[in-house]
Amino acid sequence: MGDTKIESAGQVLARQLSLVGESVDNASLFSAFEEGSTESSEPPVESPPTTAAASAGETPTQAVGLGDSGPTAADADKAEARNAKRHVWQDKVCFALGVFNLAFSFLWIGASPQTFYVAHTIKAVLLFGVRLAYYRKQNLHYYFFDFCYLVNALLLLHCWVPRLRRIKWLWEALFACAAGPLAWSIPALRNSLVLHDFDKMTSLFMHWSPVVVVWALRWFPIEGHPMSQPEAAQASVLEVVAPATLLYLVWCVAYYLKIFVVSEKKIRERGYDTLYLYTLRKGGLGKVINNYRPELRPLIYLAGHAASCTATFLVSFLFFNSFYAHTALILAVSFAATWNGACYYFDYFSFRYVPSLGLTHKLQPGKEE
């Protein structure tokens, strides 16, 4: 019986992967729709009558004429096919750009690590700009008040504004933040290398790329940077952790006032989402926080957030003083992102991508169209 179960599971996986392979081939994916097939897994939903003739008791055919029968099942299938085709095409473009981005990034790092911040800046402007526009439409733009976005913004200013570039404590704070909370967020939040998914790649970029930028600035500094000075070769625990902790405390107070005091009513009435609300809806930490009274939950959330960030600030001291440890960190979080992406593709994507297109009834294995 055990062999039979394993064989059955393998057959299921093979069939699902076969469907994914067909979905990449536009010709086979949409051949069922090119001839105007009228098959459908469910009958089309009719919208209620809204015209004056309909309200007067006339049928749609009587109102518009016998020759106009309105949308048919075949029309609905064609529209569904067009949407699916556009979806697949967009995913192909994102996948191709994702692979190109990997090659582009590692070639740049190998050729000129001290200028990698230029490539980071170009990608940050594009990715965050698109995400902000999309998040505003989805009522998600308050996510941009989170700590990771602040670190990304300050890192860009540090790289491009000469006066900020020379501030040693700001550099040490950004190093601890990037090699600390941002780096460890990749395994903790399961950031994944999912090349066809723009949003997942943006989230991975937000946490992974700053780690590489501070690695390049730390070990291959540009002119005028604090690390270009011989006396900056080593740093104490206090020098690394204290500036980052101060920066975090300033953000934490500002975040509490903005999210839970100033804009609390606006967030509630307009249905805006925040990372805090998302955490409450999820398991793990959300279950723990929900055990407390509502008025205490924001403080419990921020206390947990502060404790985890402080712990990673302390660990970042090791990376600041060791090239090999810092390089190992990048390799480790890169592997974590790659592993998470592999799990996504084989545990989720291979079974649900084709059904998500709404075309499974057209692509059953062995079915003749």
- For the chain, what is the mean pLDDT? 82
Q: Return the pLDDT at 233.
A: 76
Q: In the predicted model, is pLDDT for residue 66 greater than 50?
A: no
Asked whether residue 198 is assigned to any structural domain, the reply reads yes
70 vs 357, higher pLDDT: 357
Q: What angle (nearest 5°) sits at the alpha carbon of residue 257, between those of residues 274 and 283?
A: 35
Per-residue three-class SS string for the chain: CHHHHHHHHHHHHHHHHHHHHHHHCHHHHHHHHHCCCCCCCCCCCCCCCCCHHHHCCCCHHHHHCCCCCCCCHHHHHHHHHHHHHHHHHHHHHHHHHHHHHHHHHHHHHHHCHHHHHHHHHHHHHHHHHHHHHHHHHCCCHHHHHCHHHHHHHHHHHHHHCHHHHCCHHHHHHHHHHHHHHHHHHHHHCCCCCCCCCHHHHHHHHHHHHHHHHHHHHHHCCCCCCHHHCHHHCCCCHHHHHHHHHHHHHHHHHHHHHHHHHHCHHHHHHHCCCCHHHHHHHCCCHHHHHCCCCCCCHHHHHHHHHHHHHHHHHHHHHHHHCCHHHHHHHHHHHHHHHHHHHHHHHHHHHHHHHHHHCCCHHHCCCCCCC
Q: pLDDT tens digits, residue range 55-64?
A: 444 444 444 4
Q: In the predicted model, is pLDDT for residue 116 greater than 90?
A: yes
Angle, nearest 10°, between helix axes 237-257 and 147-160?
120
In residues, how long is the chain?
A: 369
Asked whether residue 52 is assigned to any structural domain, the reply reads no
Q: In the predicted model, is pLDDT for residue 198 greater than 70?
A: yes
Angle, nearest 10°, between helix axes 198-219 and 116-137?
150
Q: Mean pLDDT throughout 203-224?
A: 95
Q: Return the pLDDT at 367.
A: 43
Asked whether residue 49 is assigned to any structural domain, the reply reads no
Q: Return the pLDDT at 283.
A: 75
104 vs 48, higher pLDDT: 104
This prediction has a pTM of 0.76
- As a whole number of angstroms, the distance between CA 192 and CA 333 comes to 10
pLDDT band at 271 (very low <50, low <70, confident <90, very high): very high
Q: pLDDT tens digits, residue range 315-366?
A: 999 999 999 999 999 999 999 999 999 999 888 777 777 676 665 445 444 4
Chain position carrying tokens 């793990």: 284
Total number of domains in the chain: 1
Asked whether residue 180 is assigned to any structural domain, the reply reads yes
Q: Return the pLDDT at 369.
A: 39
Q: How far is CA 288 from CA 115, 181, 252, 273, 301, in A?
A: 44, 21, 20, 20, 9
Asked whether residue 16 is assigned to any structural domain, the reply reads no
Q: pLDDT tens digits, residue range 34-47?
A: 333 333 333 333 33
Q: Mean pLDDT throughout 239-256?
A: 97
Q: In the predicted model, is pLDDT for residue 230 greater than 50?
A: yes
Q: Quick one: tokens of 87? A: 């979806």
Q: In the predicted model, is pLDDT for residue 144 greater than 70?
A: yes
Q: pLDDT tens digits, residue range 151-193?
A: 999 999 999 999 999 999 999 999 999 999 999 999 999 999 9
Asked whether residue 28 is assigned to any structural domain, the reply reads no
Q: 221: domain range?
A: 80-228+239-357
Q: Mean pLDDT throughout 274-286?
A: 90
Q: Quick one: tokens of 150? A: 């602040």
Q: Return the pLDDT at 32.
A: 36
Asked whether residue 219 is assigned to any structural domain, the reply reads yes
Asked whether residue 307 is assigned to any structural domain, the reply reads yes
**What share of the chain in percent tops pLDDT 90?**
62
